[in-house]
Each structure stands twice: as C-alpha cells, then as structure tokens.
Structure 1
Amino acid sequence: MKSPKEVLRDWVAAYNARDPYTLIDLYHDDAINHQVAFGDPLQGREALLESFIAFFNAFPDNYTHPENIFEDGNWAIIEWSGGGTFLGELGGNAPTGKSFTLRGCGFFQIVEGKICFQRGYIDKYTWFRQIGLPVS
C-alpha cells in the first residue's frame, strides 16, 4: 500500500494532468474536501468529481508545483505554488481570460491508500482580484 506522501504525489500528477477521473480514484467514497476560503465542505466522490471537472474546464492550463510535501502518520501536507488562466465558466461567472499565480497549502488524511479528508488554504482575495472576480 502506498504511503500518504506517495498518494499525495499521485494526486499532484493527476491534478497537473487535469484528469478528474484519475484524481477521483484517489478518494474514499465518502471523502470530504474542505476548501476553507469557500465555505462548506464538499462530501462524496460525486460532488468532488463535479468540482474537479468544473475547475479544470474553467482553468484548462491550471498547474500546481509542490514546494514541500510532508508526511506525519496518516497525513500528507503540501505547500504549493500554482496558476492558470480563467478560460471557462466557473460558479456562474463568465471567464475573464485573466491569469493567476497563487500559493497555498493542503492537508490530506489518507486511510488505506485513499484520501478520506482534505483541507486547503488559499488567499481567495488575491486569487479573485487576479482573475477579475468580485471578492465577497
């Protein structure tokens, strides 16, 4: 069975390939993803898959560069930098064609080789300002 760090490296590879189906295979059926800047967490593979598809459609050139990956017990933690260009609709917002670069971190609880919980932190204000969306 893969270590949490290895699962996270697989996650980064699938994310950078913008492959939502390979990405979702890394999650437990009832996984929770809480992106703190966006409020309530998503739960379950169907909701997560829909969010990945929407994000990759909105940012088809999205990328994430791991700066550090740590492992502690059944947790893997990533510090990352990334970016992309807002080229498709996202959450009812029309694309602006503007690009972003951003830094953030994510925490992944991995049980039996699958992600069961994820929490991510980004600066929503900086991201939305760069891509031309109002910050609420």
Structure 2
Amino acid sequence: MRPKELIKKWIDLFNQGNAEQLAELYHSDAINHQVANEPVEGKEAIQAMFAAEFQAADMTCIPENLFEDDEWAILEWKDPMGLRGCGFFHVIDDKIKFQRGYWDKLSFMNMYKPKN
C-alpha cells in the first residue's frame, strides 16, 4: 500500500475514534512524536495514547492536503473548530514506522474542553 493510501485509511479510522484499528497501521516498534508532547514508542503505547485522546475529546481530521514522497506521506489537516496542523508519516512495508505531528496544543486545550 502506498503511503498516501495508508494515510487515507488512517484518517478514516481516526475519524471513527477507533484506537485499536488505528494502532494496527503502525509497526510494533513505531514512534509517534507529536511535538507538543513526549514521543510515544511502540504500537501498544500508541494505541493507549489514541484511546485516551478519543476519550478526552471529540476530534475530527479534515484533510486539506495529502502528499507522498517515496516512503513518506505528508498530511496538512484542519478540524471543524479551526485548529490546523500537519503530520509526517514514514511508511515502511505498508505500516507507519515514524510519525511526527505539529499543532498548537494551547489552542487545542482552549477549544476542546474535557468530556464528562
């Protein structure tokens, strides 16, 4: 699967809030580094991170641009509340090996109040 196609699947699973299936898109030793947070290492930890995030807030990823360059996919996104960011995904053997994301954590925290 090409990186761009894998990230389209990632977007669908993210928007479903499906942490378990989302984690299946990652290598067992993958790293997800959202630069506003510490890096998360390993598929199980990545799944736990997504599960906690989906519990904390209703999030939607609206792709604005999705590019592919060899083993990399680059996603520029927004959400319905106007938050914007971008992600870089290194895809090896049809799975995400490394992800780095850039977004404004303070704006996120101000926009998304914790779920009760």
Say if 2:82 is the partner of 1:126.
no
Q: Which runs of 5+ in 2 are unaligned?
A: none
List 4+ stretches of structure 1 deviating above 6 A: none
* SS of residue paired to 1:128: helix
Percent identical among aligned pairs is 46
Structure-2 residue corresponding to 1:103? 84
Distance 2:19 2:95 in 1: 15
Q: Report the alpha carbon displacement of residue 125 of structure 1 after superposing the two structures with TM.
A: 2.1
Kept in 2: contact 1:101–1:127 (CA 8 A): no
RMSD: 1.5
TM-score, scaled relative to structure 2: 0.92
- Aligned pairs (5 A) from 1:30-109: 30-38=29-37, 40-59=38-57, 61-83=58-80, 100-109=81-90
Q: Report the alpha carbon displacement of residue 22 of structure 1 after superposing the two structures with TM.
A: 1.1
Q: Residue by residue, what CA displacement relative to the aligned partner does 1:39-75 show, whole Å, maximum 9, x if unpaired?
A: x20000111011011011111x321100000000100
For the pair shown, the structure with the greater C-alpha radius of gyration is 1
TM-score, scaled relative to structure 1: 0.79
Distance 1:63 1:125 in 2: 17
* SS of residue paired to 1:37: coil
* SS of residue paired to 1:63: coil
